[in-house]
Amino acid sequence: MFLALVAGQAQADNHSSTIALNKSETQLLNINQDSHSVSVFKVNLGANNANALKKLAEIQVGFEPQCVTIKPDDSEAYVTTADGNVSVISLAEGDDQFSVVKKIAVGTEPRGCALTPTGNVLYVANHTSGTVSIINTADRKVAKTVTGFNRPYAVAISDDGDGDDTDETIFVSDFLAEASNSDQSEGFDTGKRGVIRAFPFGLAVFLKKNYLIAVSGFWLYG
């Protein structure tokens, strides 16, 4: 069971991205797919109030990193890698700073990742295995693997600002489209529609059918 932090604490990055700025806006992390690494930059206020970057480290994280997100207390970052892991990077001062302190095995070819507002839970979209891993960031372990997705790709999580994860909604986009209800051929894009799955926070909810929102172009279908 996950415990939410109290209201008023820093909140997490709540959508998939290849670049992340920590909450204190002092460090910027960027993934480098070709070099299988993450670069860490110090953010400085330069001349004329322009932000200047100074590279602090480049960290080898695993094969083809895909997504990075930072815990709201700025202590750790989480990076999905195409070799089926989430690399946990320590950002806190100390002997382990800017190093991978844990690799969490997830599904095949994880892509998008997002933290709940408190940073207690990490959702990871496992593209090729068609699953979503739910990770408890306190013990850095997978608490649940959810099936039934069609090449999940990106993740976003709502944030109503009350410091309670349990009333938030998780959104996961499928990479592959499904046939629409129109009479057009499935062989054309106009005969298919994309899918975003939306479901409330928690574990037991996955025993029920997920809600579907189908997207075709700029139109939504119920």
Claim: this prediction has a pTM higher than 0.75: yes
Q: Decide if 57 is inside a domain.
A: yes
Q: Decide if 126 is inside a domain.
A: yes
Number of domains in the chain: 1
Q: Decide if 176 is inside a domain.
A: yes
Q: Decide if 6 is inside a domain.
A: no
Q: Decide if 10 is inside a domain.
A: no
Query: Which pLDDT score is estimated for 218?
Result: 38
Query: Which pLDDT score is estimated for 44?
Result: 80
* Nearest in space to 76 (alpha carbons), one of 59, 100, 55, 57: 100
Q: Decide if 9 is inside a domain.
A: no
Query: Which pLDDT score is estimated for 191?
Result: 63
Query: Which pLDDT score is estimated for 59?
Result: 98
Mean pLDDT by runs of 10 across the 222 residues of the chain is 34 77 94 97 75 91 97 97 98 96 97 96 95 95 90 93 91 80 54 77 49 45 40
Query: Which pLDDT score is estimated for 61?
Result: 98
Q: Decide if 120 is inside a domain.
A: yes
Q: Decide if 180 is inside a domain.
A: yes
The boundaries of the domain holding residue 97 are 19-221
CATH of the domain at 144: 2.130.10.10
